[in-house]
Structure 1
Amino acid sequence: MLTDHHGAKVAQALALALTEALESNGWSVAELSRRSGISRLTISNVLQGLVWPDLLTVASLEKALDRDLWPGRVV
């Protein structure tokens, strides 16, 4: 089952952290896109679990949000 895969758990945890960061900042996907340089489509796809973001995408989102999103090995 894919959800038991560690990579899938990491992607789910990252999507949850991204959702919480957006809500905490009161930002829309469009606002995060503007601030991070990551397309709205990519951000939406990450939030929906349709794609697993690459490191450059994660780093850009973390910098724009001024918070860590990567859950590490603890998931």
Structure 2
Amino acid sequence: MTDHHGAKVAQALALALACALESTGWSVAELARRSGVSRLTIANVMEGRVWPDLLTIASLERALECDLWPGRGV
């Protein structure tokens, strides 16, 4: 883990996404289908390779019916 705030936010978002996906029992492919976000983008967000834009986060949150953005407490 790092002390950089941006990195902490990215890690928290990736963890929230992984937990939400696990709780649904969906595959990445199923989440991609339901959200309209590509499988590659979802995988890259979960691996911490990319920062998702706001539209991507909103699309994932809508499909998963949960908040992913960690908020100010990170």
CA shift, 1:4, in A, is 1.5
% identity of equivalent residues: 80
- 1:16 maps to 15
1:50 and 2:49 are equivalent in the alignment: yes
Q: Residue 74 of structure 1 aligns to a residue in which SS?
A: coil
CA distance in 1, matches of 2:2, 2:71: 17
Aligned equivalents of 1:56 and 1:6: distance in 2? 22
The corresponding residue for 1:33 is 32
Deviation at 1:3, TM superposition (A): 2.3
3-state DSSP class of the match of 1:4?
A: coil
The two structures have a TM-score, normalised by structure 1, of 0.95
| Alignment deviations for residues 19-50 of structure 1 (CA, whole Å, 9 cap, x no partner) | 00011000110000000000000000000000
Task: Write out the 4+ residue segments of structure 1 that deviate beyond 3 Å after TM superposition.
Answer: none
> How far apart, CA to CA, are the structure 1 residues paired with 2:50 and 2:2?
14
The size of the alignment, in residue pairs, is 74
Cα drift, residue 73 of structure 1: 1.0
